[in-house]
Structure 1
Amino acid sequence: MNAFKSLISGKTLSIILAFVGFLIPFFIQIDGLSEAGHRLLGIFLFAVILWVSEGIPLFATSACVILLLILFLSDVSAQLGWAWGLAEGFTGASPPSYADYFNTLASNVLILFLGGFFLAFGAAKYGVDKNLAAIMLKPFGSKPSRVLLGLMLITGVLSMWMSNTATTATIMAVVIPIIHRLEVSDKFRIGLALGIPFAANIGGIGTPIGTPPNAIVLGALGKINPETGAPIGQCSFLQWMLFAVPIAMILLVLAWLLILLMFPASKKSIEIDMNVKWVKSSKATIYYATAIFTILMWMTGSLHGINSYVVGMFPVAILLATGVVGAKEFRSLDWDVLWLVAGGIALGKGVSSTGFDSWIVGLIDWNALSAGILGIAICATALLMSTFISNSAATNLLAPIAVAVAAATGGDAVAILIFVALGASMAMALPISTPPNAIAYSAGSFNTKQMVLSGSIIAVIGMGLTYLCLPILLKMAGLG
């Protein structure tokens, strides 16, 4: 009996539940959901159960998700004779090509990740991380709470102006040596590792260029209303900052306090080497120049027009070509994280191609909601969807729906669209929710359950803060 209990406990049980979740939609009929949507629901449940429980490694779950999408929701389904009922179940004329799912393994997001990995690797190799830690943290002293506050503030502010993915990759290179100096039993290790991605996600709210959902919403506002012949709404760069920066800063402080409460430090001070010593070899010089060039290119994208994904390829090419990163070092990079992110991107493609996303949104009768509840409901919808798929994809889906909802209910399109952007940016409960989360997860200092719990609490606090403060701040910014 004990052997039987041991067999079905833990990881084995989660794997069994994942397969049960995968099979359920094949045996029940859900009104309004196409055959393709039923299959996607099964794959979705399979992925969620394994990503949350870690029954198998997260990157292994991503590989399984990509395979299941190809077998059940691509043109391969027809070749296998499994395409019953699929012809009318897709948003396009036919199922996606299997190559579309494979292409997620070379997504532009993954290239951006790879560039961040190269910068982080060089920072560790040449001691740049230790030097940055000494320079940035010196004003905050050695008290753990102040060290965490300093790191989160620096991360949050940088994420307002440059890619939050690149910011996380850079700051994590600073944090990892600090984590390694702490005892394994010290819960503050977890707090340090979680604080960086949370701060990056929150900081991205602050400016229109901080994160893709902000830019998508501004693009939606700029579209012409066919009834009036004028833009749907207007929001300048400064106006966005007037309402978004206060929300971001307040939420950042609340997140800091929550992390201190959940993951207290066991020591009263953290020993940080404040001596700055720069390596002066030729390869180190190449790395310094490449890192500075890449970061400046990321921060000035609006001036030169080269997007952050293309910029992410510069350090990869330069550091490989110059031998700064050799073959052995190249093989040691965190490729498992890239596979993890690819699985999330592929799942997002499946969600949109099957109409599963529209079905989820259609479950809510938006017209029956009051103005206040409408805002928080669409914010919660954006948050929930962005937890499992790209926040850019979720915002792309919800932005036109938000405009339609505003027109149908007589609501303020600007406010409703801003709820969408903020909700999408507050999704940070899983390693796949945002690139910063995945980068921090690669450090190995926390497990998925710890991120789910703390990330979910911050998301709920963020929604409440947005509900209470956004109407007032929009009026102050001249948008209410």
Structure 2
Amino acid sequence: MELLQSLWRWRSLLIFVLTPLVLLPLPLVLQSPEAYVAYMILLMAVYWVTEALPIGVTALIPVVLVPAFKILPSKDLCPAYFEDSNMLFIGGLMLAISVEFWDLHKRIALLVLQLVGVQPRWLLLGFLMPTWFMSMWISNTATSAMMLPIVDAVLHELMRHDQMRKRVDRQRLEQAQQEQPVEQEPEQGESGQKDQHEMIEMAENSETTEDKVEGSMPESVGEVEAPEASAATSAAAETNSAAATSEDAEETVLSYIQNPENRAFANICKMLTISVAYGANFGGTATLTGTAPNLVLNNNIISNFGNQSPFNFGTWFAYAFPISLVGVLIAWIWLQILYIGPRNSCKCGVKDSEEVEAVQQALKREYEKLGPITFPEVSCIILFIITIILWITREPGGVGWGYLFQETPVTYVNSSNGNLTRIEGSTKFFMADAQPAILMSILLFVFPSSNPFKRRRATVDVVIEETVTVNDDGTEEVKREVRNNLDKERPSTLLTWRVVHERLPWGIVLLLGGGFALAKATRESGLSALIGQQLKPLGSLPLPLLIVIVVYCTTFITEITSNTATASILLPILVDLSRTIGINPLSLMLPCTLAASFAFNLPVATPPNSIVFSKGYLSVTDMLKSGFVLTITSGLVLVAGTLSYGAVIFDFYNFPSWANASSNAAAATSAGFSAGGAVRPASMPRLMYVGNE
């Protein structure tokens, strides 16, 4: 037993040392570039799955192994870590950090929760939709971490009033039994038997439904307490709840749901908590910058097909947004059925107005803590809206501001009759989606955090904070603290580099770059082409069946490794498979990318899953029960959307000309222009081919 414990303690080191040795026969026996890259992919996959190394550190392995295996020189490989897509990711993260820093995301979430109401089904929607919307623009991990404290505050109020209500119910029952007249013993016996039978019947119904929730809020039995003490406790709890921390709420709720009698409330906890992870996973798929696999797709398309494909921020949004929206609505319905019950999920109306009012007051107190909307919040909203408009209008179907920054190179070739023939090359687009994101990020370091046109007061604002505590004898003690509101240091601009340095997830940036480097090595070594040739028999399958296979294989792989790693490994293979069997590459690449984010079953599948699992409300079995059905239904929605309107947007059923000339387009993208900027170098493959004609 001690040996096993020692091995488990040193498991990371053992995996780090033994995995390269176990896989070593692959490069030693085959000794080909394809085998070398396959060895590296398998090694990184094991490290990613087991987390023997930090994920960002594992992403740096190609920097060492690719040049060592003589696949690519270092000067050609290392720029892959900061491709255009990575700059887009960094710009989007900086915008997201500004929103987080000024608590704008929390204001939006609390506003939505106050609008939808406090009945469980609407509370569920109130947590799903803000998480879903914000994860389109903010990282899934940050969105989940922001929403969970709000979940804790709501659950704490539900639990507190559930306890109080049950105490009152028991007191009324005991008082009614004590007030029965003694002289009417037969009637009392019959009445007592009747009450007992009713209580037994209620208990049986409760056992039958097990953890299904009746009505609008859960019920549980608490301790008996005198009415005066209960009222005092109620007032004290309501006052102190405004100052309760998220950690206190978590501890109280965790201890409360351990009681088997509180299964209904435990299910409310599970339902609301897991909705945060599912909302974040679905929301990240809707926009190009929402999650890292989308940027891996963008990089693979640019590196293989240049700017010739119809893929951009607008077309991706038109394709992915409906699938994301339908998916989150399915999650809303399924979580109700699973945790509330099919009958109660269709019920409307609220039985306990006091409980509703209590939860509404809790949300109102949380919102009032933020104060009135501030100048920095308005500034962040404006910059965010401008960024989205620039993304959508860059290339919306033949027109857009991106066409102002384009150039068509021209070369002149001697013809057979001695005249010069004018040949126009492929149009070069200088702008991409990274430029608006970086421009707005730069402005965050310029815009002031206070209104420069508003005259400042000479006096210092004073804030009086009151803390009410209840003594053992039931008396209240009020403590007042006077401080000025300038105690908290306010930055002079909307964002500072110190904040970015502390909050930007550099490990994810490296992970994204490692995926790009891995894809480049896979392509240059010929491994992706080799796998594509081996999968050529799949070309005999109809396209719908092929998409189904790709979608569900991807959803399985993404459960055991990171979403970004899954997309980085599979997308280069799908590019060459599409070329081999002669279909539109986007018909497989786009659904594969979306499926890489459909990780709902395991805590390790994606960071939002890990965050909600760490709260302690959920077990692995709970996640499997809710996630399996969601994986199946989301995959079906993805396939249906791809084959219907997705085929119209991207013309999936025809092999495009830009896919045929993919290598030339990629070369054009990387080579750029000559010093003059208007003439393409004569060594470009495409122009030499046209000239020879």
The residue number in structure 1 matching 2:549 is 377
Gaps of 5+ in 1: 78-82, 87-94, 225-230, 408-412
Q: Quick check: 1:345 aligned with 2:345?
A: no
Q: Quick check: 1:121 aligned with 2:97?
A: yes
Kindly indicate whether the alpha-carbon contact (under 8 Å) linking 1:429 and 1:452 is maintained by their aligned counterparts in 2: no
Kindly indicate whether the alpha-carbon contact (under 8 Å) linking 2:88 and 2:434 is maintained by their aligned counterparts in 1: yes
Q: Quick check: 1:9 aligned with 2:85?
A: no
Kindly indicate whether the alpha-carbon contact (under 8 Å) linking 1:197 and 1:437 is maintained by their aligned counterparts in 2: no
Q: Quick check: 1:313 aligned with 2:453?
A: no
Q: Whole-Å Cα distance in 2 between the matches of residues 393 and 46 of structure 1? A: 12
Paired amino acid for 2:500: F
Relative to 1, partners in 2 of residues 1:328 and 1:388: Cα closer, same or farther, differing over 3 Å?
A: closer
Q: How far does residue 427 in structure 1 lie from its aligned partner after superposition?
A: 0.8
The residue number in structure 2 matching 1:196 is 279
Give me the CA root mean square deviation.
5.2
Q: Whole-Å Cα distance in 2 between the matches of residues 202 and 9 of structure 1? A: 36
Paired amino acid for 1:8: L
Relative to 1, partners in 2 of residues 1:215 and 1:461: Cα closer, same or farther, differing over 3 Å?
A: farther
Q: Which structure has the greater CA radius of gyration?
A: 2
Relative to 1, partners in 2 of residues 1:7 and 1:355: Cα closer, same or farther, differing over 3 Å?
A: farther
Q: How far does the alpha carbon of each residue in 1:280-302 deviate from its partner, in whole angstroms, 9 at most, with x for none?
A: 45x56654543343344344433
Relative to 1, partners in 2 of residues 1:301 and 1:466: Cα closer, same or farther, differing over 3 Å?
A: same
Q: Whole-Å Cα distance in 2 between the matches of residues 45 and 389 of structure 1? A: 11
Q: Which of residues 574, 583, 586 in structure 2 aligns to 1:398?
A: 574
The residue number in structure 1 matching 2:72 is 96
Kindly indicate whether the alpha-carbon contact (under 8 Å) linking 2:84 and 2:434 is maintained by their aligned counterparts in 1: yes
Relative to 1, partners in 2 of residues 1:263 and 1:353: Cα closer, same or farther, differing over 3 Å?
A: farther
Q: How far does residue 129 in structure 1 lie from its aligned partner after superposition?
A: 2.0
Relative to 1, partners in 2 of residues 1:475 and 1:109: Cα closer, same or farther, differing over 3 Å?
A: closer
Q: How far does residue 199 in structure 1 lie from its aligned partner after superposition?
A: 1.4
Q: Whole-Å Cα distance in 2 between the matches of residues 156 and 397 of structure 1? A: 30
Q: Whole-Å Cα distance in 2 between the matches of residues 260 and 22 of structure 1? A: 47
Q: Quick check: 1:301 aligned with 2:394?
A: yes
Paired amino acid for 1:423: C
Q: Whole-Å Cα distance in 2 between the matches of residues 147 and 129 of structure 1? A: 18
Kindly indicate whether the alpha-carbon contact (under 8 Å) linking 2:598 and 2:634 is maintained by their aligned counterparts in 1: no
Q: Whole-Å Cα distance in 2 between the matches of residues 118 and 219 of structure 1? A: 25
Deviates more, 1:38-47 or 1:21-30: 21-30
Q: Whole-Å Cα distance in 2 between the matches of residues 304 and 216 of structure 1? A: 24
The residue number in structure 1 matching 2:47 is 50
Q: Quick check: 1:251 aligned with 2:322?
A: no
The residue number in structure 2 matching 1:329 is 499
Other structure's SS at 2:596 match: coil
Q: Which of residues 530, 549, 566 in structure 2 aligns to 1:359?
A: 530
Q: How far does residue 419 in structure 1 lie from its aligned partner after superposition?
A: 4.7
Q: Quick check: 1:23 aligned with 2:21?
A: yes
Q: Which of residues 64, 70, 78 in structure 1 aligns to 2:63?
A: 70
| Residue-pair matches, total | 421
Matches within 5 A, 1:410-449: 413=583, 417-428=586-597, 440=608, 444-446=611-613
Other structure's SS at 2:72 match: coil
Kindly indicate whether the alpha-carbon contact (under 8 Å) linking 1:247 and 1:465 is maintained by their aligned counterparts in 2: yes
Q: Whole-Å Cα distance in 1 between the matches of residues 548 and 538 of structure 2? A: 11
The residue number in structure 2 matching 1:89 is none
Q: Greater strand percent: which structure?
A: 2
Q: How far does residue 479 in structure 1 lie from its aligned partner after superposition?
A: 8.7
Q: Whole-Å Cα distance in 2 between the matches of residues 390 and 39 of structure 1? A: 19
Q: How far does residue 426 in structure 1 lie from its aligned partner after superposition?
A: 1.3
Relative to 1, partners in 2 of residues 1:178 and 1:458: Cα closer, same or farther, differing over 3 Å?
A: same
Kindly indicate whether the alpha-carbon contact (under 8 Å) linking 2:124 and 2:271 is maintained by their aligned counterparts in 1: no
Residue identity (%): 15
Q: Whole-Å Cα distance in 1 between the matches of residues 134 and 91 of structure 2? A: 17
Paired amino acid for 1:52: V
Paired amino acid for 1:329: V
Gaps of 5+ in 2: 154-245, 255-268, 341-354, 403-430, 448-491, 654-693
Q: Whole-Å Cα distance in 1 between the matches of residues 92 and 646 of structure 2? A: 35
Q: Whole-Å Cα distance in 2 between the matches of residues 459 and 371 of structure 1? A: 21
Q: How far does residue 98 in structure 1 lie from its aligned partner after superposition?
A: 1.9
Relative to 1, partners in 2 of residues 1:399 and 1:256: Cα closer, same or farther, differing over 3 Å?
A: farther
Matches within 5 A, 1:146-157: 146-153=122-129
Relative to 1, partners in 2 of residues 1:357 and 1:21: Cα closer, same or farther, differing over 3 Å?
A: farther
Kindly indicate whether the alpha-carbon contact (under 8 Å) linking 1:297 and 1:311 is maintained by their aligned counterparts in 2: yes
Q: How far does residue 27 in structure 1 lie from its aligned partner after superposition?
A: 1.0
Q: How far does residue 131 in structure 1 lie from its aligned partner after superposition?
A: 1.9
Q: How far does the alpha carbon of each residue in 1:9-68 deviate from its partner, in whole angstroms, 9 at most, with x for none?
A: 16x33543354333334214799x763333333332332223223334323333xxx2x3
Q: How far does the alpha carbon of each residue in 1:253-310 deviate from its partner, in whole angstroms, 9 at most, with x for none?
A: 334456678999xx996953344744545x5665454334334434443343353322
Paired amino acid for 2:92: G
Q: Whole-Å Cα distance in 1 between the matches of residues 27 and 303 of structure 2? A: 38
Kindly indicate whether the alpha-carbon contact (under 8 Å) linking 2:551 and 2:591 is maintained by their aligned counterparts in 1: yes
Kindly indicate whether the alpha-carbon contact (under 8 Å) linking 1:214 and 1:421 is maintained by their aligned counterparts in 2: no
Deviates more, 1:210-219 or 1:373-382: 210-219
Other structure's SS at 1:142 match: coil
The residue number in structure 1 matching 2:411 is none
Kindly indicate whether the alpha-carbon contact (under 8 Å) linking 2:552 and 2:595 is maintained by their aligned counterparts in 1: no
Kindly indicate whether the alpha-carbon contact (under 8 Å) linking 1:109 and 1:309 is maintained by their aligned counterparts in 2: yes
The residue number in structure 1 matching 2:462 is none
Q: Whole-Å Cα distance in 2 between the matches of residues 34 and 139 of structure 1? A: 64
Q: Whole-Å Cα distance in 1 between the matches of residues 571 and 125 of structure 2? A: 30
Q: How far does the alpha carbon of each residue in 1:364-409 deviate from its partner, in whole angstroms, 9 at most, with x for none?
A: 321454665434234456665994547488556535633542x5xx
The residue number in structure 2 matching 1:80 is none
Other structure's SS at 1:59 match: helix
Relative to 1, partners in 2 of residues 1:311 and 1:150: Cα closer, same or farther, differing over 3 Å?
A: farther
TM-score normalized by structure 2? 0.48
Kindly indicate whether the alpha-carbon contact (under 8 Å) linking 1:217 and 1:418 is maintained by their aligned counterparts in 2: no
Q: How far does residue 421 in structure 1 lie from its aligned partner after superposition?
A: 1.9
Deviates more, 1:368-377 or 1:345-354: 368-377
Q: Greater helix percent: which structure?
A: 1
Matches within 5 A, 1:257-276: 271-272=362-363, 273-275=366-368
Other structure's SS at 2:516 match: helix
